[in-house]
Amino acid sequence: MRLLTGLAVTLAATMALDAAERSAGVTTHLVSRIDVKDFGAETLRIGDLNGDGAPDLLFVQSVYGTREITCLTATTIMGEVLWQSGTPSADNGRIYSDLPVQVYDWDGDGRNEVLYVRQARYAEPKTRPGAVRERADRYEGNATMVVLDGKSGKEKGSFALPAPADDCFLFLDLTGRGRREDLLVKDRYWNMWGVSHEGKVLWQWTGSVGHFPAYGDIDGDGRDEVFVGFALIDHDGKVVFQKDARGGHQDAAYAARLRDGTWRLLFGNHGIHCLAADGKELWHHPLGEAQHVLADRFRDDSEVQFMVLDRGRVRKDRGEGTRSDLYLYDLNGRELWRRGQPEGGWAAAIVPIDWLGGGKPRCVLAYSRGPGQPSAIYDGDGNIVDTFEMQCTPDRSPQDRQAHYYGTRADVWGDSREEVILFGPRGACTYANARPLAVPTLYNNTLYPGM
């Protein structure tokens, strides 16, 4: 097991389960509970920042209603602050949308950088503080991609982007480099740009870009295509296929390559759609609002299944959604099961997680399931395996403990399984699977390897 340098003793002591816990059948273990002070956030990125080989955490604060990043705070998984860029504020922990920030080895030197977009000035219209700001009628200057040293947080470089391109971004191989070193940047809903590693705008596409595109080398030419739900865009910006969005946008997209080399392109809006690589719709189910779509091996009886979270329609009288529902479909769109989520969980979300390890099918982590509801892990049969409460530090008020939080997963513990990370404006914590994991190479040991 790989442990953080200098914290091996602390982590080993933290991870150890005593005999009483084992006899009580404890299945989860609280690895860390972080005092986020005033830098807590609903946006978190994960990656090795200090160069010790273990994952670290990057808390990202912004002005609510915008994508204007105000503070970045890097910590270890135990909460030790590595560096901070910007001014933290307990008022800037909430988010309105995804934020344009990633952790990646941008220059290929074997060490991670932090990349984020610094907004252009929104000259018109002028908005009041706290108002939602999707885009401007007129911008002054350009947006800027800023590259920070992962270890120190100091700026290493920057380059200009189109002024509206301040929504999320992702790394692609658009130029045949053999590594994803180019960029796909976008505004909120209307445009996206392919940008080379050097910062040159390669192309622009205008249409219904949705929240976060999917990607993959779908045509096998060594360069990535971009799937935005209603359209597939080639690496050079040419349209492979495009459908009428009818004024809507995709809430989630996924590009899955099957064993036979064919692709399935999935997207959710007011339904879940499955397309072939040429744009032909293979199947479709009408739903309230399919906000999250995942493709993975959640069961052993087939190579891939599709997990969909339908968060229902908004209740205008109460300002919230109906009960969310979690669905699992097979490759042909047949419903395998559905599980209702607690009432009031309109913001519910899901991510796949390798919780069981040992080559077993992946599970799904469902979080933001409604006020006072714990996050939950479901297996491929629709059973809840474990649940998780947000654990704040003791000094937090009862109001702090009720604050909204998100969830993600990563192998931060180094045991080949992924851990659950919960985070929000007032706290952050990490849970590990406490069940013993039998790794074949670590039992029945012998002096004669290969036996």
Edge-to-edge order in the sheet of strand 169-172: 169-172, 182-186, 191-195, 201-206
Map tokens 């399935």 to a residue: 264
User: What is the tens place of the pLDDT at every residue in 177-226?
Assistant: 999 999 999 999 999 999 999 999 999 999 999 999 999 999 999 999 99
Backbone angles phi, psi at 11, to 5 degrees: -70, -40
- Of the candidates 187, 179, 180, the residue with the CA atom closest to the CA atom of residue 205: 187
Q: Largest Cα–Cα distance of the chain, in whole Å?
A: 74
- At residue 319, the pLDDT reads 53
- At residue 233, the pLDDT reads 98
- At residue 318, the pLDDT reads 52
Task: For residues 340 and 373, give the distance between their C-alpha atoms in angstroms, rounded to a whole number.
Answer: 13
Map tokens 């479909």 to a residue: 329
Terminal Cα distance for the chain, rounded: 23
pTM confidence score: 0.92
Count of CB atoms situated within 10 Å of the CB of 79: 17
- At residue 13, the pLDDT reads 41
The tokens describing 184, both together, are 């796909």
Count of CB atoms situated within 10 Å of the CB of 174: 26
- At residue 20, the pLDDT reads 47
Parts of the chain with a pLDDT under 70: 1-24, 127, 313-322, 450-451
Map tokens 């990607």 to a residue: 215
- At residue 448, the pLDDT reads 84
DSSP string computed for 158-212? EEEE-TT--S-EEEE-SS--SS--EEEEE-SSSEEEEE-TTS-EEEEEES---SS
